[in-house]
């Protein structure tokens, strides 16, 4: 986990989208949604970062920005020190854009639709090999493909290589997508809800495989999930971090174990409540949020963006926005006034009703 060896570095990255034809507010011609708001995040080589948050919190946009599929509207994204978007537009970058693109790979939530339905597994997996190893003979390529299929437990490999995607189960399709990404020799793989579509009992399997391959191939993973327990499984096994996102901001980030066992931000606590744990004793109980729905990102709340749902919110949270702070020698930081110490005006402020 050395920081000199940073694969990817995002600095004050913002991504805005413009929405036209809004029905709710006819007075504004275009609305902007700030999907990602001034986020800085470094990903060292061989590291795992898991981003968690609700739908619409910006985690997918941030992930796509990290692997150069989305251009930020502000801030910089650097691959090994080279600004990615400069590399694309410059004639003479220190690292060619093509090479950067190849080093940053993605696997999607729905593997079925990301694999070409008209091509057999053998053909699907030969494409990246032809690009990364143009000199390989057809036989060598075939044996690499079969070897990879065996590595991920798809045996007999010959049989699987001859199948079409629809002849594979969801888990097998996801494995093929994972192999295809790995064959590009990437430094970073974005796994966007990559296991969410799998049955619960298959998820642990798939995560174990990802951890194995991450170790074997020295790849970093940026793992996106709405499920804190999956994020924890991957990040904790690999000594990685968990970042919690809410309405375009990272509200808490730190070592997986600390974030899960001792969450600081009220929103992280809410996510932890929402994580199914095998519990036969209690009732479902009350919701620990004041509002069930995430606010409209077109018009985010003032101050701390979570204040409209936070049970701990006070007047000051409506007026001011807390910056992330790290408390008492821990590595985890949270953006909440409750972490600012006992003398912060928060404690004197009126609770919101």
Binding site for another protein (CB under 8 A): 23, 54-56, 169-170, 199-205, 207-208, 226-230, 232-233, 236-237, 260, 270-287, 289, 291-294
Min separation Cβ 234 and another protein, Å: 10
Min separation Cβ 3 and another protein, Å: 26
Nearer to another protein, 186 or 301 (CB): 301
Min separation Cβ 252 and another protein, Å: 15
DSSP string, 231-292: HHHHHHHTT-EEEEEETTEEEEEEEHHHHHHS--SHHHHHHHHHS----SSS-----SSS-S
109-126: b (≥16 Cβ within 10 Å) or e: bbbbebbeeeebbbebbb
Nearer to another protein, 53 or 72 (CB): 53
Nearer to another protein, 150 or 199 (CB): 199
Nearer to another protein, 184 or 259 (CB): 259
Min separation Cβ 122 and another protein, Å: 23
Nearer to another protein, 150 or 293 (CB): 293
Place of tokens 């030969």: 126
CB 181 within 8 A of CB 210: no
CB 308 within 8 A of CB 314: no
Nearer to another protein, 118 or 282 (CB): 282
Sign of the CA dihedral 48, 223, 245, 32? positive
Pairing of the two strands 249-255 and 333-334: antiparallel
Min separation Cβ 226 and another protein, Å: 4
Min separation Cβ 303 and another protein, Å: 21
């Amino acid at each position: 986990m050395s920081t000199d060896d940073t694969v990817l570095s995002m600095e004050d990255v913002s991504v805005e989208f413009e929405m036209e034809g809004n029905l709710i507010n006819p007075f504004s011609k275009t609305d902007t949604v700030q999907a990602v708001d001034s986020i800085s995040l470094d990903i060292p080589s061989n590291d795992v970062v898991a981003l968690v948050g609700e739908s619409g919190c910006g985690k997918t946009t941030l992930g796509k920005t990290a692997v150069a599929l989305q251009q930020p509207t502000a801030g910089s994204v650097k691959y090994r020190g080279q600004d990615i978007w400069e590399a694309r537009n410059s004639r003479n970058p220190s690292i060619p854009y093509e090479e950067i693109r190849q080093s940053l790979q993605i696997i999607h939530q729905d593997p079925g639709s990301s694999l070409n339905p008209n091509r057999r597994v053998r053909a699907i997996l030969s494409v990246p090999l032809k690009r990364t190893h143009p000199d390989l003979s057809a036989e060598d390529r075939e044996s690499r493909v079969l070897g990879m299929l065996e590595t991920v437990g798809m045996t007999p490999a010959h049989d699987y290589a001859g199948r079409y995607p629809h002849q594979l189960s969801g888990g097998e399709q996801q494995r093929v997508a994972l192999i295809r990404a790995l064959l590009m020799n990437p430094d970073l793989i974005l796994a966007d809800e990559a296991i969410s579509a799998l049955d619960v009992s298959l998820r642990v399997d798939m995560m174990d495989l990802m951890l194995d391959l991450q170790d074997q191939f020295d790849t970093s993973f940026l793992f996106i999930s709405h499920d804190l327990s999956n994020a924890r499984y991957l990040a904790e096994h690999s000594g990685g971090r968990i970042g919690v996102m809410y309405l375009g901001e990272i509200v808490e980030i730190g070592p997986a174990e600390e974030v899960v066992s001792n969450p600081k931000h009220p929103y992280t606590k809410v996510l932890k409540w929402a994580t199914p744990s095998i519990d036969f004793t209690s009732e479902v109980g009350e919701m620990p949020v004041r509002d069930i729905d995430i606010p409209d990102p077109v018009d985010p709340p003032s101050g701390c963006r979570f204040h409209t749902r936070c049970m701990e919110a006070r007047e000051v949270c409506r007026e001011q926005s807390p910056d992330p702070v790290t408390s008492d020698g821990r590595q985890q930081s949270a953006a909440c006034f409750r972490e600012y110490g006992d003398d912060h005006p928060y404690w004197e402020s009126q609770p919101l009703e």
